[in-house]
Amino acid sequence: MRHILSFLLLLSVSFSIDVDYYYGQGCPHCASVEQILDGASEEYDLNVTKYEVYSDSDNRNELFQAYDRFGVDIRQGGVPTTIIEGKTFIVGEMTEKEWVAIFDQCQHECPEIVQTRASSAFLENDSTGQLTIPVLVGAAVVDSINPCTIAVMILLISAVLYAKGRKNALVSGLVFAWTIFFMYLFYGFGILQAISIFQITRIFYIIVTVMALLLALLEIRAFIDYRPGLAAVEMPMFLRPHVKDVTSKALTIPAVITAAVLCSLFLVPCSSGPYLLVLGLLAKAATLQTVSYLLLYNFIFILPMLIITVAIYFGKTTVEKIGEARDEYIRYIHLISGIILFVLFFLMMYELQRVF
């Protein structure tokens, strides 16, 4: 009789189910899975431990180790990845009915299975329409050769060069460029965070797709009929006196940093377009390489600033020559930008009709 009572008591006990959930901030598939897990926690005693892998390298390494343990190629996986009781390994989304079936089984014994779904943020697999290195580099190049970005750098270097000499111009130029780098990195993560919080991945992707077409048309227009200060492709004329005033006073390191922070805002009207396109692709693809992609993009963005600074310091060129070259080739810069933006637009349109 005692054994029967013990057995019945054992059946009545609700066992906790350990769930390791790996996700990426801004990943729409992750948000769907998380919603299901949160709902299931009300019915099942789920002990869910969440690991954000985009920004946390330790969590990312743990995820890679988990893939090794289960014998799954990380290139065929991604986020969300869910491990239940260390036995059930699931990549991507499942229907709520499928999750319920798994949890029902885990109340007795979790199945030892490895299951992958296409509805996950893959790392390398099927990259068509997603953010690839060539696409990233192309957009960053468009952003980096923007005439207004080069103009701002020339203003700063010339002000410091004539006031304090070549060495100070080198230091100021490097500090200015790297401050811009960190500001734009901050903007990028902020926008991706907002997209994730408000769950507007698709809306944002549609908006930036339309923006890609408009920017491409404006860049081509600037090539055909160039006028300084064209909307969306160059810094508006009314902002230029303010930028000149800020950069002309940047003769100390704190002043240079302040000028860079302010100029990062002044540059938004003419240099944010390609960046927003990349963020749209990142928000949709939600790859594990989000951090490295943003780092690479912003390094390419400031690369002309670094080259100009170093070239002037070593006497390879002058502020005047750079200014003249900019004025001479400005129409062709817009043409190259327009062509690359058209390519991005068609890429995004293809993905839009294929998935959405």
Q: What's 126-144 look like in SS3?
A: CCCCCCCHHHHHHHHHHHH
E-only strand ranges, the chain: 17-23, 46-52, 78-79, 81-84, 88-91, 114-116, 121-122
Same structural domain, 201 and 87: no
Range with the lowest mean pLDDT among 182-186, 196-200, 222-226, 244-248?
196-200
Domains: count for the chain:
2
CATH number of the domain within which 53 lies: 3.40.30.10
Measure the CA–CA gap between 101 and 96, rounded to whole angstroms.
Answer: 9
**DSSP bridge pairs for 21:** 50, 82
Measure the CA–CA gap between 236 and 229, rounded to whole angstroms.
Answer: 5
Top pLDDT among 301 and 131 is at: 301
pLDDT score of 124 more than 50: no
**C-beta separation of 275 from 143 below 8 A:** yes
Q: Is residue 128 part of a domain?
A: no
pLDDT score of 126 more than 50: no
Instruction: Evaluate the CA torsion angle 321, 247, 142, 227 in order and state its sign.
Output: negative
Measure the CA–CA gap between 262 and 160, rounded to whole angstroms.
Answer: 17
Q: Is residue 3 part of a domain?
A: no
Q: Is residue 1 part of a domain?
A: no
pLDDT score of 230 more than 70: no
* pLDDT score for 5: 45
**C-beta separation of 42 from 99 below 8 A:** no
Tokens matching residue 25: 């901030």
* pLDDT score for 8: 44
* pLDDT score for 300: 94
Instruction: Evaluate the CA torsion angle 344, 195, 147, 317 in order and state its sign.
Output: negative
Q: Give the pTM.
A: 0.66
* Pairing outcome for strands 114-116 and 17-23: unpaired
The mean per-residue pLDDT over the stretch 59-81 comes to 82
* pLDDT score for 311: 92
* pLDDT score for 302: 93
pLDDT score of 355 more than 70: no
Average pLDDT of the residues of the chain: 80
Range of the domain at 239: 133-355
* pLDDT score for 301: 92
Side chain identity, residue 45? D
Overall residue count recorded for the chain in this entry: 356
* pLDDT score for 82: 92
Q: Is residue 4 part of a domain?
A: no
pLDDT score of 317 more than 80: yes
Measure the CA–CA gap between 236 and 242, rounded to whole angstroms.
Answer: 11
pLDDT score of 266 more than 70: yes
* pLDDT score for 26: 65
Measure the CA–CA gap between 246 and 251, rounded to whole angstroms.
Answer: 10
Same structural domain, 153 and 285: yes
